[in-house]
């Protein structure tokens, strides 16, 4: 039986990538070494890292005045690393609060500066993205921070904020590489790899050159963007195997036709699930329609007691990791790039079957 993995992260990877990694596990392209065994400063791994960066720059059309950093610590680590690198002489930063991951970012930033909550969707239980016209930015913030896809609530920005001269910082962990974006609209983009890029352990940071000289004196060297940029992400040993897998994912995305092509697939997958929910009599999604996430489709049944039966039936049919986050419950289908349409169709078919029997 084929298994479709709807995990929110670590998440499904393209089968082609896993097969290639398996084939190269003991001997990477005649080197006699596994990538896990390579020196990060050897010519073999340097070639892997260079190609990964080049392919990522192609996918996202990253301009030359942006540095690409392959680091560690995850997005939660970057919640502290961002203010440490950007505060400089500033005393405050603006944050838009749209859910649990924004909340974590805010909590961490408060250890280093005054945080101004410029807008929040807490008033409606984080079911929408506040319109930019409602934002109340501070007088002189170091930056404006957004989480552009909230995996727990299933809320996604379908537009790019315009913060003018104030650097826009985005946690894109859960939807980066799922759609076309304009990197030049952001000062910093960061995210953990374990959704759409590769395995857990790798953190991507894309930072504009003019923001590299603002780090606080307390910033550790391993997390100092300017120092890591100067060392080409190798000030310390980077997460080499995770970088290798991410590089294979980048190659796979290019072979699919790039982000414009993968975005069309993601739109179609999300539409199928949301139409199944909206046309049903028992499933409910509370997110404002224009803010619904393409990556994380959340929904509820009329009675929480039905969740267990729904999840059991799904697992029996080869659909796993559909349980909602422990903080909110319900059902969550994470349909990242590597989730094929066949998996989404199987879920939609099962949802209709379950409703017919239990509605």
Burial class (CB in 10 A: 0-12, 13-18, 19+), 260: exposed
Q: Which two tokens stand for residue 260?
A: 């414009």
Chain centroid, CA 247 distance in Å: 16
CA 205, CA 218: separation in Å to the nearest integer? 20
- 152 close to 193: Cβ distance less than 8 angstroms: no
CA atoms within a 13 Å half-sphere pointing along the CA-CB vector of 143: 26
How would DSSP label each residue in 184-230? GG-SEEEEESTTTTSSTT-EEEEEEGGGTT---TT--GGG-HHHHHH
The residue assigned the tokens 């100067």 is: 230
- The count of other CB atoms within 10 Å of the CB of residue 244 is 25
Among 67, 195, 269, 323, the one annotated catalytic: 195
Provide the angle, in degrees to the nearest 10, between the axes of the packed helices 240-256 and 15-23: 130
- 152 close to 44: Cβ distance less than 8 angstroms: no
DSSP, collapsed to helix, strand or coil, labels residue 119 as: strand
Among 28, 55, 101, 323, the one annotated catalytic: 101
The neighbouring-strand residues paired with 191 are 204
Q: For this structure, is 101 an active site residue?
A: yes
Residues, the chain, total?
A: 359
CB proximity list for 241: less than 8 A, separation 6 or greater:
35, 36, 199, 201
Q: How does 324-350 read in b/e, with b if 16+ C-beta sit within 10 Å? A: bbeebebbbbbbbbbbbeebbebbbeb
C-alpha separations of 50 from 69, 164, 173, 209, 314 in Å: 11, 33, 22, 19, 42
Q: For this structure, is 171 an active site residue?
A: yes
Q: For this structure, is 195 an active site residue?
A: yes
Among 28, 55, 67, 171, the one annotated catalytic: 171
Q: Cis (ω within 30 of 0) for the bond into 10?
A: yes
- Residues marked as catalytic: 101, 171, 195
């Amino acid at each position: 039986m084929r298994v479709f993995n709807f995990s929110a992260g670590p998440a499904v990877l393209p089968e082609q990538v896993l097969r290639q990694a398996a084939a190269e596990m003991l001997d990477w392209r005649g080197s006699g070494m596994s990538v896990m065994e390579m020196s990060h400063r050897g010519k073999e791994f340097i070639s892997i890292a260079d190609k990964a960066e080049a392919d990522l720059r192609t996918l996202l059309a990253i301009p030359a005045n942006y540095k690409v950093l392959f680091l560690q610590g995850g997005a939660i680590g970057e919640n502290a690393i961002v203010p440490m690198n950007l505060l400089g002489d500033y005393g405050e930063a603006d944050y838009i609060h749209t859910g649990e991951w924004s909340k974590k970012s805010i909590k961490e930033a408060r250890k280093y500066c005054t945080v101004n909550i410029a807008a929040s969707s807490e008033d409606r239980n984080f079911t929408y993205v506040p319109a930019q016209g409602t934002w109340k930015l501070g007088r002189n913030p170091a930056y404006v921070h957004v989480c552009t896809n909230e995996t727990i609530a299933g809320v996604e920005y379908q537009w790019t904020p315009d913060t003018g001269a104030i650097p826009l910082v985005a946690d894109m962990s859960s939807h980066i590489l799922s759609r076309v974006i304009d990197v030049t609209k952001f000062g910093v983009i960061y995210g953990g790899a374990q959704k759409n890029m590769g395995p857990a352990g790798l953190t991507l940071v894309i930072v504009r050159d003019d923001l590299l000289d603002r780090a606080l004196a307390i910033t550790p060297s391993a997390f100092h963007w300017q120092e890591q940029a100067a060392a080409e992400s190798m000030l310390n040993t980077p997460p080499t195997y995770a970088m290798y897998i991410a590089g294979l994912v980048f190659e796979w995305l290019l072979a699919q036709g790039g982000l414009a092509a993968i975005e069309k697939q993601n739109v179609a997958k999300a539409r199928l699930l949301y139409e199944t929910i909206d046309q049903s009599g028992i499933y409910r999604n509370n997110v404002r329609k224009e803010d619904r996430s393409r990556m994380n489709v959340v929904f509820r049944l009329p009675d929480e007691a039905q969740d267990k039966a729904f999840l059991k039936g799904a697992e029996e049919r080869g659909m796993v990791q559909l349980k909602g986050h422990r903080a909110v419950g319900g059902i969550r289908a994470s349909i990242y790039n590597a989730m094929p349409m066949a998996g989404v169709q199987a879920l939609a078919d099962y949802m209709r079957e379950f409703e017919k029997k239990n509605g």
